[in-house]
A and B are shown apart, each in its own frame.
Chain A
Amino acid sequence: MGLNILVTVKQVPDTHNIKGDTMKEDGTVNRAALNAIFNPEDMNALEEGLKIKETLGGRLSVLTMGPPRAVEVLKDSIFRGADEGVLLSDKRFAGADTLATSYALQAAIRKMGQFDIILSGRQAIDGDTAQVGPQIAEKLGLNQLTFVSEVVEVTNSFITVKRSIENGIEIVKAGYPVLLTVTDEANEPRPASVKKVMAYKNLTTKKDPSPAPAVNDKGVITHIKEWDADTIGADVSLCGLSGSPTKVKEIESVVLTAGDTKMVGADKEAIDALIHELTEEYIIG
């Protein structure tokens, strides 16, 4: 028994710690100056998956699409308790918007097998779109529970969660299969296990098209599987830039230009005059 769990994880530029040298003169982003990190809410998705696995037993796989170095987030997931990793990497996936991303990810998921629960982060901090999770669900014909802030109960046949909605909180129950998008309120992700880091720090990728678990007879993970568009039988016209209906017209870096600020003195008279002026203009009443 137990559940088959999949977590989609993404490596993202650390947009929350942008410094002066990150923005180039021409207003574009100097990606090289940004650290690549584990997307924060994907860490919450992984933690929730690990908790479910601990409660009910089962297997937890992680999947990412990205350049070769994105393997880091898969290894990081394995250090925390994931049972296998699949890296989906192909130049033909480059430039994908959410539609093309979800297309490639769902094709990989179909090849990986049947999952009871798929967990995604609510959103990735590079684009903040929160679209890939629901789009994977739609493409796989799955039910979805978005903005999950707490898992209330999980059994072998259903899951009950709290969802943050505009007007409060909703408690919803759903059977399997189902896709959840998890917010940072859901949990506090665990750190990597020292034992696992020791065991798996030299884990590398291998072009291994087999959907069977990459483990040896002792249950030890042998490698991370690397797949490309051909492995998953993807229609490349639906992948990457060509499969992306949205196009970037223009990017503007947010620079401040001194406007025409009226400086007001800090003395009583000046402040009285300001309040008077605002009253005259009906700004305050």
Chain B
Amino acid sequence: MANGLMVFIEQFEGKIANVSLELISKGRELADQLGVSLEAAAVGYEMEEELKLLGHYGCDKVYYIDNEELEFFLSLPYADAVSHIIKKYAPQIVLFGATTTGRDIAPRIASELRCGLTADCTDLQIGEFTLKGETYKDKLLQIRPAFGGNIIATIVSPDSMPSMATVRSGVMKMVNPDKNKKVEIVEEAYTPKDDLFLSEILEVIKIEKSVDLTSARIIVSAGMGAANPDSIKLVAELASVLGGVVGASRPVVDSGLLKKEHQVGQTGTTVRPNLYIACGISGQIQHRAGMNESKRIIAINNDPEAPIFNIAHYGIVGDINDILTKMIAAYKNKV
């Protein structure tokens, strides 16, 4: 069988990060297309139980380095441990979450292995690539926004072994876990050298996210057309009656009306809820980049020419306060 597809498993306090499960889900699809096995590389301490979860999402095999010194993430020892696994098992593709962890070690590993690395992808496909008359089959097509979100580029690393990419959280869909599926856990004998421990973590200040946009099924977002306390209150009320979460465009966050953790978009969170209600949002590219995968989009705007209407499934032209009041009433009357 040809070389496998590998996903780096990110963990915090021994718990697997969602982005890694998203990548296992997507990785399964790509590995099936290539007809290869889906593998994972995990580094941590006493994670055997937690790693079983990978099987539920479709992972065939996980190479696991278990070491007390590697309980917490550190750039050099983690990069070295993961590159040890990559060198030993020679996957053709390696995927990392485009998180502060993935984007810290992936470039180091790519530099050491001299392979191609594409940052912050929003889509991955398998396809063909032709360069100077030579056609490469079954290559990883790495799709990402560039140039401030104004272009979408497809990048390929035709001769790179492996071909590596970091992928944004929230863009790949997690499959429904199947508890009957099992993963083979292969423990790797590996001890990091002492001279890799050059940093000392003095403290980790955990900041619980009070807003969880990524897993929200319904998001009601405020834009500059709703950037006043009264409208924000209505946005929050609609979100609350629908059991959803409040989102925001960047200028609303910049203005201080809502906190950064509400921001949707290129520099905020990427979301794909069942329903996204854009309230007074014009629909600039950087905002759309973070929400255009939503299943249903309702746009409310008093300007019929607003670009948001081009991607909305339902459009309502009108004043935000008036429409929100009517929507809240309509929902309340329904029940």
A: residues with CB less than 8 A from B are 13, 15-16, 18, 22-23, 27, 29, 97-99, 102, 125-135, 137-139, 143-147, 160, 163-175, 178, 244-254, 256-259, 261-266, 268, 271-272, 274-276, 278-279, 283-285
Is B126's beta carbon under 8 Å from chain A?
no
B75 at the binding interface (Cβ < 8 Å): yes
- Given A246-B116, A254-B285, does the pair A171, B201 have CB atoms closer than 8 Å? yes
Query: Given known contacts A166-B101, A283-B296, A284-B242, is B317 in contact with A256 (CB within 8 Å)?
Result: no
Chain B interfacial positions (CB closer than 8 Å to A): 12, 17, 73, 75-76, 79, 99-101, 103-108, 110-112, 114-120, 129, 131, 141, 145-160, 198-207, 218, 242-243, 274-275, 285, 295-296, 298-299, 307, 309-319, 322-323, 326-327, 329-331, 333-334
Q: What residue in chain B is nearest A267 (Cβ atoms)?
A: B326
- Do A22 and B17 touch (CB < 8 A)? no
Assess whether B157 is in contact with A245, with CB atoms less than 8 Å apart.
yes
**CB pair B310 A259 closer than 8 Å:** yes
Q: Are B147 and A170 in contact (CB under 8 A)?
A: no
Determine the distance from Cα of A102 to Cα of B314 in the docked complex, in whole angstroms: 47
Interchain CB contact under 8 A, B307 and A268: no
Known: A134-B107, A167-B12, A167-B206. A127 touches B150 (CB 8 A): no
- Interface hub of A134, A168, A244, A263 (most chain B Cβ within 10 A): A134
* Nearest CB in chain B: distance from A40 CB, A: 12
Instruction: Give, as a whole number of angstroms, the nearest-CB distance from B253 to chain A.
Output: 14
Bound-complex Cα distance A244 to B319 (A): 52
With most chain B CB atoms within 10 A of its CB, the pick from A15, A97, A128, A178 is A128
Contacts of B106 in A (CB 8 A): 131
Would you call the interface of chain B mostly helix, strand, loop, or mixed?
mixed
A236 CA to B182 CA, complexed, in Å = 48
Chain B's nearest CB lies how many Å from the CB of A126?
A: 7
A sample of 14 more A-B contacts (CB under 8 A), given A98-B110, A138-B107, A271-B316, is: A18-B147, A134-B105, A135-B107, A135-B110, A143-B75, A173-B200, A246-B118, A248-B153, A251-B154, A252-B154, A254-B152, A261-B313, A266-B326, A268-B330
The 9 closest A-B pairs by CB, nearest first: A245-B116, A15-B148, A266-B318, A168-B207, A143-B198, A129-B119, A131-B107, A134-B107, A138-B111
- B314 close to A249 (CB less than 8 A): no
Which label, helix, strand, loop or mixed, suits the secondary structure of the A interface?
A: mixed
Given contacts A174-B199, A261-B309, whether A252 and B314 have CB atoms under 8 Å apart is no
Q: Of all chain B residues, which has the CB nearest A14?
A: B148
Q: How far is the CA of A98 from the CA of B111 in the complex (A)?
A: 9
Tell me the nearest residue of chain A to B114, going by C-beta: A99
- Do A172 and B326 touch across chains, with their CB atoms under 8 A apart? no
Partner of B104, one of A147, A245, A247: A147
In whole angstroms, how far apart are the Cα atoms of A271 and B238 in the complex?
13
Residues of A within 8 A of B295 (CB): 283
- Across-interface contacts of A131 in B (CB, < 8 A): 103, 106-107, 110, 117, 119
